Amino acid sequence: MQTLESLRFHNTFARLPEGFHRPVDPDPVGRPYLVHFNPAAAGLIDLDPREARRPDFAEHFGGARLPAGAEPIAALYAGHQFGHYVPQLGDGRALLLGEVVNGRGERWDVQLKGGGRTPYSRDGDGRAVLRSSIREYLASEALHGLGIPTTRALCLVGTDDEVYREQIETGATLVRLAPSHVRFGSFEVHYHRGRFDALRVLADHVIGHHFPELEGEPDRYPRLLETVIERTAALIARWQLAGFAHGVMNTDNMSILGLTLDYGPYGFLDAYAPGFICNHSDHWGRYAFDRQPAIGLWNLGCLAQAFLPLIDADAPEAAAERARALLEAYQPAFYRHYGNGMQAKLGLRELRREDAELSAGLLRLMAAAGADYTLTFRELSEVRGSDTDRHPKVRDRFADRAAFDAWLAGYRARLRAEAVGDSARRAAMEAVNPLYVLRNHLAQHAIERARTGDFAEIDRLMEVLADPWTGRPGLEAYAAPPPAGAPQVVVSCSS
């Protein structure tokens, strides 16, 4: 196990030419204190959890000190925000402290969010608030618990310094881990500036560290794009299956590795509504829940455009044709991942032609009834294949009982066709249909407690969300939808 002084930094991204990043030291927050530490994430970089007990631990991740070997930089990127290209974005409040290589040879970026202004802050203050930092801290670990690719959260450091967003709030810094923070927008900025040599440097960097099987291959760049397309399709299928809405699917928030990146106004579905908009700032519903798959393809089209000089710089038309052919694989990949996942959520092992309508019919009934997305699938696992239990618990989630009964009869017939025992099927369904998800009201409760200096709810949620599949006595409130009459939690791009 490593101490803060003995972490093994290999800062290869900092070795890239100046046009990819700018060096910048963090601006320390005042009187930092540790809000929460994540031992599971610490294990990714071989950091001894006992290091979190050090009096100076919060100073290291509040910006006052740097771990030995860290070389902080702010990365340059651009991106399409709400469909419009913004020529320069970059890390406006995040600093890549460096890359740690663990004992297994895995490389992890260590990034400090909220460490002050950078050359890419524009008019921003470079700070983060406790509210949004808690939301990202919890969400990244919640998705990890669900098996969805994501950045990870190492620790959360608070400060009494005031930060203004929509109101005056206290500040915080978040330490985020990821194999890479390279985004679609990291490529877009060089393409739109005509820096095609830089595109090649960045692509070779990504290939060398994350796809070494492509190194030296003559078609490595289109194959890299092909891999990103597949990973993105798989990621968004997993979002849809879990009922997770990202909220801001700008291309600068899309990971080249297919990770969930940059949590802001996210939300898990409570009552199932296909057009659910979790972002109060998304006035036109561009990033509504049911539009996420299509936006994924749109974003990949922007990335594919940036890859054109890599695919064939001398024949633009041929490059465009190759890119279009690669993009055509997205929808089949998405539906393959989504279809397989929905089969598992319904407890079906074999794929049959009628199964797509079976799942679609259930979702239509859920939308009409406003049935809770997570609990409906969870309670569906209790349904027996026989007709002996005519009124299963899940039936109460549907006002139109006759319509649900008709669907249930077809579902039971489909279960009997596979001849799988009820107990085995229930165990399989509970392994893919979570009981606990990070509902907005749960995150908000943890935030409100934290504002009073009570961080116990963060700790409790981290424990619950680490194993979202297993029901435990005393945790019933963490599985429940928002209480009736509870005020709606409004989240926006400042969240």
pLDDT over 80 at 485, yes or no: no
Residue 480 CA: distances (Å) to CA of 50, 372, 375, 435, 476: 35, 9, 8, 9, 7
Residue spans of alpha helices (H) in 107-219: 130-145, 184-192, 196-210
pLDDT digit string, tens, across residues 119-135: 999 878 899 999 999 99
Q: Is residue 208's pLDDT more than 60?
A: yes
The torsion angle over the Cα atoms of residues 326, 204, 148 and 454, rounded to 10 degrees, is -140
- Crossing angle between the packed helical segments 292-312 and 184-192, to the nearest 10 degrees: 50
* 68-104 per-position pLDDT tens digit: 999 999 999 999 999 999 999 999 999 999 999 999 9
Cite the annotated binding site by residue number. Answer: 90, 92-93, 113, 125-126, 176, 183, 253, 262
Query: Is the model's pLDDT at 264 over the cut of 90?
Result: no
- Give mean pLDDT, residues 434-443: 97
User: Residue ranges of the domains in the chain?
Assistant: 13-180, 347-430
Q: Which of 31-35, 39-43, 386-390, 431-435 has the lowest mean pLDDT?
A: 386-390
> Average pLDDT over the chain, rounded to whole?
95
Among 92-101, 314-323, 412-421, the least confident range: 412-421
Binding residues for ATP: 90, 92-93, 113, 125-126, 176, 183, 262
Question: Catalytic amino acids?
Answer: 252
In contact, 450 and 129? CB cutoff 8 Å:
no
Q: Is residue 475 classed as helix, strand or coil in its secondary structure?
A: coil
Flag whether pLDDT at 494 surpasses 70.
no
Is residue 150 within 8 A of residue 268, CB to CB? The reply is no
> Long-range contacts for 392-401 (Cβ within 8 Å, ≥24 apart)?
397/366, 397/369, 397/371, 397/372, 398/365, 398/366, 398/369, 398/371, 399/368, 399/369, 400/365, 400/368, 400/369
- Binding-site residues from annotation for Mg(2+): 253, 262
What is the per-residue pLDDT for 391? 85
Q: What is the DSSP letter of 297?
A: H
Residue 449 pLDDT: 97
Compute the average pLDDT of residues 228-248: 98
Q: Distance of alpha carbon 55 from its chain centroid, rounded?
A: 32
Is residue 169 scored above 80 in pLDDT? yes
Q: Are 271 and 162 in contact (CB under 8 A)?
A: no
- The model's pTM is 0.97
Strands in 349-425 per DSSP E: none
